[in-house]
Amino acid sequence: MSWTRYVALGDSFTEGLGDPDPLAPGGWRGWADRVAEALARHTTDLTYANLAIRGKLLGEIVAEQLPEALALRPDLVSLAGGGNDLLRAGVDVDDIGALLDEAVGRLRADDIEVIMFTGADPVESPVIRRLRGRIAAYNDYVHEIAAARGAHVVDLWSMPILSDWRMWGPDRLHMSPAGHRRVALAVLETLGLPVAEATWRQPLPPLPELRRSARLLREMRWARTYLAPWVMRRLRGQSSGDGLTAKRPALTPLSVR
């Protein structure tokens, strides 16, 4: 392993929402912090920056975070974006695919190794599964760009463990600590690093089946607590990341846990 300057770009997924940690900047750990900690175990001089901010569209990531990342002169960059775009009505998947290709091209032109991500399969989600075809089309772009540009792909779509709701937080949009841990292991495996937890892909024991009335009550609570506020922000043109700054804006060493 030769990486010493790792920069993470993206939205809430990379910021680490759903994986609370009072010791982490901003109060969130997440898969990217976990990956950086693992990389730091393999080298004595790793530095790490995380420029991701929740709610960002891919265009904002490319316009705002990418120039900052290039200025840091990293040798490894993770770029995860497009999820917020795909949730919006009228999105053109071809447009965000072209934008992703441009971003990866700029990074690879500087000989930076790039980690990309597909979207996870939303087949178990009563709401987001309606966007399954759109997400699959975007995933095709991710694979094509990675093959053409020489980038790594972490294929979340092909991880059946992510269909278990225990891998996700109560809002169903952000991963739980268990989900972030498994994504971190998938990243390390994709990079060719040894992963000690060989069973991380295996499914968890099944949960008891809920009665229909209990499932309906659960859906109603989710809609009231999480879906309605999200819709209201969209109608008002607001983002959950408005006014926020990156939790790790500069390349710095980090302590290994």
Share of the chain above pLDDT 90, in %: 68
Domain annotation for the chain: domains and CATH numbers? 5-196+248-252 (3.40.50.1110)
Cα separations (Å) of 92 from 106, 139, 149, 168? 22, 14, 22, 27
What pLDDT does 207 receive? 82
* 79 within 8 A of 104, measured Cβ to Cβ: yes
What pLDDT does 52 receive? 98
What pLDDT does 196 receive? 73
* 251 within 8 A of 7, measured Cβ to Cβ: yes
Q: Name the pTM for this structure.
A: 0.93
- Enter the tokens of residue 43: 């080298």
Share of the chain above pLDDT 70, in %: 98
What pLDDT does 218 receive? 78
Predicted confidence (pLDDT) at residue 1 exceeds the cutoff of 70: no
> Stretch 109-124: mean pLDDT, rounded?
95
Predicted confidence (pLDDT) at residue 24 exceeds the cutoff of 70: yes
CB atoms within 10 A of CB 166: 10
Q: Kindly report the three-state secondary structure assignment for every residue of 102-149.
A: HHHHHHHHCCCEEEEECCCCCCCCCCHHHHHHHHHHHHHHHHHHHHHH
What pLDDT does 131 receive? 92
What pLDDT does 152 receive? 98
Query: For 149-204, how does the pLDDT look when each residue is reduced to its tens digit (9 = 90+)?
Result: 999 999 999 999 999 999 999 988 899 999 999 999 999 999 999 887 767 788 88
Residue 43's pLDDT band, with cuts at 50, 70 and 90, is confident
